């Protein structure tokens, strides 16, 4: 861990959908400047816990302390969450990251336009900025969503399966950008991820979510924990 300061603290957090407890008595400290993959079977509660950290879900028990007051978290959903029929350009997708400081109607100023242009260049999207989101490849869509989060100025980024449906080369490229957010920009990155091998290439520790229980583990420890877990039924609350 790069810092001794815990900027996200979950204390005995239980999250439920109706009567079904999806995350149970979770205790978790996340330190500034950390890249922390959340791994586990489908339906185990990874995405549910991340949504609660973002404030999108309210725990039925326990507390979550986060640093987002006055500054948004950079949330990057799965790209399929964006309606492909909505006629928005790549540049407009990135500009959406300015909404917390601009509101919905104020136009970006010169400095903000430069920020957007710099982010487009950083992710290799400058030549595609006028294409609609539906025209982009899977990797470009993910980088556009990453750019939207980065331009917001957030310090904490939360990703929901950022490499879902990407080929191996594009997956490596997107994951390299996430590592860059931590190493170059000093950001804190949390991500739900489907593969322990890929997670091991990103970080020494992962957050194992297993049948609603949460544990920080090294990669060898996580491998043992997950191999002892019978496959959970796939669900939308992963």
For the stretch 193-226, pLDDT in tens is: 877 888 888 898 999 998 889 999 999 999 999 8
Residue 147 resides in a domain: no
User: In which domain, by residue range, is 214 found?
Assistant: 1-69+195-238
- Asked if residue 232 is part of any domain, the answer here is yes
pLDDT number for residue 102: 80
- Per the structure, the count of domains in the chain is 1
Instruction: From 102, 64, 90, select the one nearest 190 (Cα to Cα).
Output: 64
**Does residue 168 lie in a domain region?**
no
pLDDT, mean over the chain: 86
Indicate whether 236 pLDDT > 50: no
Determine, yes or no, domain membership for 28. yes
Examine residue 166 and state whether it is found in any structural domain, yes or no.
no
Question: Which residues, including other chains, have CB under 8 Å from residue 35's CB and lie 6 or more apart?
Answer: 178, 179, 181, 182, 188, 189, 191, 202, 203
Instruction: Tell whether 95 is covered by a domain.
Output: no
Position with higher pLDDT, 79 vs 227: 227
In a domain, 213, yes or no: yes
Q: Are 210 and 24 in contact (CB under 8 A)?
A: no
Q: Band of the pLDDT at 146, cuts 50, 70, 90? A: very high
Q: What is the pLDDT of residue 151?
A: 93
pLDDT given at position 70: 57
Inform me whether the pLDDT recorded for 235 exceeds 60. no
- 3-state SS record for the chain: CCCCCEEEEEEEEEEEECCEEEEEEEEEEEECCCEEEEECCCCCCHHHHHHHHHCCCCCCEEEEECCCCCCCCEEECCHHHCCCCCCCEHHHHHHHHHHHHHCCCCCCCHHHHHHHHHHHHHCCCHHHCCCEHHHCCHHHHHHHHHHHHHHCCCCEEEEECCCCCCCHHHHHHHHHHHHHHHHCCCCEEEEECCCHHHHHHHCCEEEEEECCEEEEEEHHHHHHHHHCCCCCCCCCCC
What percent of the chain lies above the pLDDT cut of 70?
Answer: 89
What is the pLDDT averaged over residues 136-157? 91
For 34-44, write each residue's pLDDT tens digit: 999 999 888 88
- pLDDT-derived band at 189, boundaries 50, 70, 90: very high
Res 98 pLDDT > 80: yes
> In the prediction, which pLDDT does 194 show?
75
- The domain spanning residue 219 has which CATH number? 3.40.50.300
Q: Is residue 63 part of a domain?
A: yes
pTM beyond 0.75: the answer is: yes
């Amino acid at each position: 861990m790069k810092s001794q300061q815990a900027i996200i603290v979950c204390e005995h957090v239980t999250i439920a959908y109706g009567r079904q407890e999806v995350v149970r008595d979770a205790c978790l400290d996340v330190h500034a400047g950390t890249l922390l993959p959340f791994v586990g079977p489908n339906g185990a509660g990874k995405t549910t816990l991340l949504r609660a950290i973002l404030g999108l879900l309210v725990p039925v028990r326990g507390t979550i302390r986060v640093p987002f007051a006055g500054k948004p978290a950079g949330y990057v959903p799965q790209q399929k969450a964006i309606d492909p029929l909505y006629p928005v350009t790549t540049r407009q997708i990135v500009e959406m990251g300015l909404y917390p400081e601009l509101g919905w109607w104020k136009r970006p100023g010169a400095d903000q336009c430069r920020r957007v242009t710099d982010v487009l260049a950083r992710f290799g999207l400058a030549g595609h900025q006028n294409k609609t989101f539906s025209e982009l490849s899977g990797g470009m869509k993910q980088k556009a969503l990453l750019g939207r989060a980065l331009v917001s100025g957030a310090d904490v980024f939360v990703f929901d399966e950022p490499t879902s449906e990407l080929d191996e080369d594009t997956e490596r490229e997107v994951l390299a950008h996430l590592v860059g957010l931590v190493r170059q920009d000093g950001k804190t990155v949390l991500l739900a991820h489907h593969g322990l091998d890929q997670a091991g290439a990103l970080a020494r520790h992962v957050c194992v979510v297993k049948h609603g229980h949460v544990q920080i583990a090294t990669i060898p420890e996580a491998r043992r924990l997950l191999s002892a877990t019978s496959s959970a039924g796939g669900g939308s609350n992963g």
